[in-house]
Chain A
Amino acid sequence: MKELEKQLIEKSKQGNTRAFEQLIKKHESKIYNLLLGMSGNKASAEDLFQETFLRAWRKIKTFKGNSDFSTWLYRIAFNNVLMKRRNKKKIHTISIDAPVVIYDKETNRDFADDWSKSPVATSENEELKNRISKAIKSLPEKYKKVLILRDIEGMRNEEVKKILNISLASVKSRLHRARLYLRNNLSRYFRG
């Protein structure tokens, strides 16, 4: 942890709201985007965002510095998402726990379908962006968390492991399944 961040945490523990605001500024963008990815809509993301930092503020004195401050914040954010989900009706997600079908009719049609060089396979394509967002939203929670942290927020496997408190093997296998699912989803989009 950087010295400046340590100082800001110490001041926040003494009730200094200005110091805590500096901490918010440093981490708010990543937390907001994480919550946006997890909830899939702005209104929920904004509620969860406020709850996350308010909870962090209330609990700041319990932060012992055993992990990075960002890791602690991510845990609070995920915990809030989980609590909100518990209070809501079950949201329909697809199941990707079943073994991945390696070679079937669909894969067969995939065979000569290399859409990676298609001129519309670009992040400028709004329709494709929406398709990706929807596909991410439909992922089961445990896969979504790993994919967002790893491929969208650009964290290393080790960091994801610490935040989610799961083994490195679980991080890798969840990420792999999430990517396979997304890739298959996008292939269907390009086949039309």
Chain B
Amino acid sequence: MMDYEKFLQLISDFLDDELDFDLEREFEESFDDEFCRCYFNTFRKTVELCREIEIEEIPQELHRKLIIRIEKEKPLPYLPEPLRRKKAKCVVRKTAKSSRIKKGQNR
């Protein structure tokens, strides 16, 4: 039987059916041990409870508000990658230039 440390390390993989056949068999042998069996049952139940969390409905008002806001806005114009980089460089240059001017003014 595998030790507890290894058992706890593999418990998620076993639950998700991602263990190799040999390891899976070894893991299942651990169920003879009461601690492992209890731990596994409660671990599996925890995951089941998470999976049963109900999906909440979106408030209709929220959907309506969002659509109104979207209708007021136009999406950004698409710039191809080289143009976007060029634009970004221009901004950097402008910033550097303006900071040089500011420094000059400070002197």
Contact = CB atoms under 8 A, between A and B. Distances in A.
Contacts, number: 128
B53 interface: yes
Given A114-B37, A183-B42, A183-B43, A57 B75 contact: yes
Secondary structure call for the B interface: helix
Given A50-B62, A50-B65, A172-B13, A152 B43 contact: no
A14 to B, nearest CB: 9
Interface residues of A, number: 56
Nearest to A14: B75
Interface size bracket, B side: 35 or more
B62 A115 contact: no
Secondary structure call for the A interface: helix
Interface stretch (B23-31, B44-52, B85-93, B94-102): B44-52
B22 interface: no
Interface stretch (A21-29, A78-86, A87-95, A159-167): A21-29
Contacts of B77: 61
Contact of B42 (A50, A60, A115, A147): A115
Contacts of A132: 49-50, 53
Contacts of B38: 110-114
A117 B40 CA distance: 12
A8 interface: no
A112 B70 contact: no
Contacts of A143: none
B31 to A, nearest CB: 12
A62 interface: yes
Interface of B: 4-5, 8-9, 11-13, 16, 18, 34-35, 37-39, 41-47, 49-59, 62-63, 65-67, 69-71, 73-78
Given A17-B70, A50-B62, A152-B53, 12 more contacts: A15-B75, A24-B66, A24-B67, A49-B66, A58-B75, A110-B35, A114-B41, A116-B45, A123-B54, A129-B53, A183-B46, A186-B45
